Amino acid sequence: MSRLAVIGAGYVGLTTAACMARLGHTVVAADIDADRVALLSKGEVPILEEGLPELLAEGLASKRLRFVVGAANAAPDAEFVFLCVPTPQGDDGSADLSFVEAVAREIAPALRPGTVVVNKSTMPVGSTRVVERILAAAGASIEEIGVASNPEFLREGTSVRDFLEPNRVVIGCDDPSVAVRVSELYRGLKAPILVTDSASAEMIKYASNAFLATKISFVNAIANLCEAVDADVREVVLGMGYDTRIGFEFLRPGPGYGGSCFPKDTAALLHAAEQAGYDFTLLQGVVDVNRRQHERMVDKARDLAGGSLDGVRVAALGLTFKANTDDLRDSPAIHIVRRLIEEGARVVAHDPAAPARVLDLVPGLELAGDPYAACAGAGLVAVLTEWDAFRWLDFGRVAAELAEARILDTRNLLDPAAMRRLGFVYEGVGR
Ligand code: UDX
């Protein structure tokens, strides 16, 4: 078992730290936010992530997991340092590595010979070498320190399960002996471990996310076409999915993808392609379809409302970028709600998990404590996030609350026939 430092206790870092402690390693996790560190040290998880509170409690109790403020306090004594800090999207679409650079500079003097620095955050191809250079410039003896790429493939909401039961583990390093040392950390897992060079590992992450985004934009484009030719996209996807080369997964039509990864990673890959002189029109199309898909939902809302949203009260069900998370980053729901308000609608939203600061993100938005209150007097209901609770609402009561029984189901969560039987004018996506 090894001694690990995990720098950054956000979604990725916290999951990595807690899961590595579960695998038997001793983990010191660092964050710059002292309040967050205090909270975590008490066993309180500031994010909504299934299984994480239990793993955190287990790690703290076994003393295999502890939290400190500042990267420099976690690095000494560590055999492996995992970098899990944000790599946000820069103004030109490229990934902004300033947090990574700051951490590398901070930890460099504290690293012992033989330590391996592992890039866990999504970083552009070439970043492993960039981190190597920064460490060397900041005084680390780079002949004695390894740097490897070990991209995460965690979905928010199921990240603990994704970490402990991965489809695969990818480790990239130009020194195979270092990669093998990193791979040993995962010995307890039943998953194929791919050891490759650093650039390929970095590309695997971007290519995987770009491919998944492509599936979503593809199915959204098919859904839009289904509407024009009177086909039902749900039947179409069923018929496609039985072909094992295609499969059923990631072909759910909706308001377009969002979240902290797909929009940012597709933009970064497009930027990288441009830098490399490759015209990646296919991926540009994926991004364009996605942007238009958000707007298409606004068009549907306007049509349902009879041609104008001005003065229409809309009940928005869901604000997070998908169900089972409290994350609002790049949420299609937020985009849609903003646009509805821009067009003069009065939007009252309910989301089971969205933090109250959503009100700062969307000026003019109002919140209701439950879905029925959101619907009271509204002329239109828009289901924007696929929370299971919305599926099981008493729609007879919803209809009674509404001024007009009209429903826009951007997630195809509901049964159109059942809705119509209850007297709703129903609009979904691609059916
Ligand atoms: C994603 C990747 O799945 C993960 O491997 C990577 O490490 C980080 O990014 P995440 O952003 O948590 O994970 O969410 P995911 O469940 O993949 O969904 C992303 C977005 O696509 C959501 O907005 C979701 O609603 C949308 N989506 C997903 C669809 O619209 N249709 C689908 O069929 C699947």
**Tens-place pLDDT, residues 338-360:** 999 999 999 999 999 999 999 99
Q: Does residue 251 have its Cβ closer than 6 Å to ligand 1? A: yes
Where a domain ends, among 190, 217, 240? 190
Q: Please report, for the domain that includes residue 394, its CATH number.
A: 3.40.50.720
Q: Does residue 156 have its Cβ closer than 6 Å to ligand 1? A: yes
Q: Does residue 330 have its Cβ closer than 6 Å to ligand 1? A: no
Which ligand 1 atom is the nearest neighbour of the CA of 325? 12
Same domain, 311 and 181: no
Where a domain ends, among 164, 190, 216? 190
Total domain count, the chain: 2
Q: Does residue 259 have its Cβ closer than 6 Å to ligand 1? A: yes
Q: Does residue 120 have its Cβ closer than 6 Å to ligand 1? A: no
**Which of 49, 84, 155 to mutate to test ligand 1, by most ligand atoms within 8 A of the CB atom?**
155
Same domain, 296 and 385: yes
Same domain, 113 and 149: yes
Same domain, 139 and 221: no
Averaged pLDDT, 269-289: 97
CA atoms within 13 Å, Cβ hemisphere of 271: 18
pTM for this structure?
A: 0.94
With a cut of 90, say whether residue 139 has pLDDT above it: no
Same domain, 347 and 282: yes
Which ligand 1 atom is the nearest neighbour of the CA of 322? 25
CB 18 within 8 A of CB 60: no
Averaged pLDDT, 120-140: 91
Which ligand 1 atom is the nearest neighbour of the CA of 156? 12
Residue-wise pLDDT tens digits, 20-57: 999 999 999 999 999 999 999 999 999 889 999 999 99
Same domain, 119 and 201: no
Which ligand 1 atom is the nearest neighbour of the CA of 385? 25
Same domain, 229 and 322: yes
CA 286 to chain centre: 17
Residue 82: give the domain boundaries.
3-190
Torsional sign, CA 51, 54, 56, 59: negative
Closest residue by Cα to residue 381 from 389, 371, 370 = 371
Same domain, 290 and 325: yes
pLDDT bracket for residue 427 (50, 70, 90)? very high
Closest residue by Cα to residue 81 from 198, 221, 216, 182 = 182
Where a domain ends, among 146, 167, 190? 190
Same domain, 202 and 186: no
Please list the active-site residues: 261
Percentage of the chain with pLDDT > 70? 100
- Residue with the smallest CA separation from ligand 1 atom 5 is 153
Averaged pLDDT, 242-262: 97
Q: Does residue 297 have its Cβ closer than 6 Å to ligand 1? A: no
- 406 Cα–ligand 1 center, Å: 28
Q: What is the pLDDT of residue 90?
A: 84
CB 180 within 8 A of CB 157: no
Q: What is the pLDDT of residue 91?
A: 84
- 256 Cα–ligand 1 center, Å: 10
**Which of 167, 170, 211, 261 to mutate to test ligand 1, by most ligand atoms within 8 A of the CB atom?**
261
Same domain, 316 and 201: yes
Same domain, 142 and 238: no
Which residues in 372-399 are b (16+ Cβ under 10 Å) and which e? bebbeebbbbbbbbbbeebeebebeebb
Query: Which residues fall within 8 angstroms of residue 143, CB to CB, at 6 or more apart?
Result: none
Distance CA 11, CA 321 (A): 15
Q: Does residue 387 have its Cβ closer than 6 Å to ligand 1? A: no
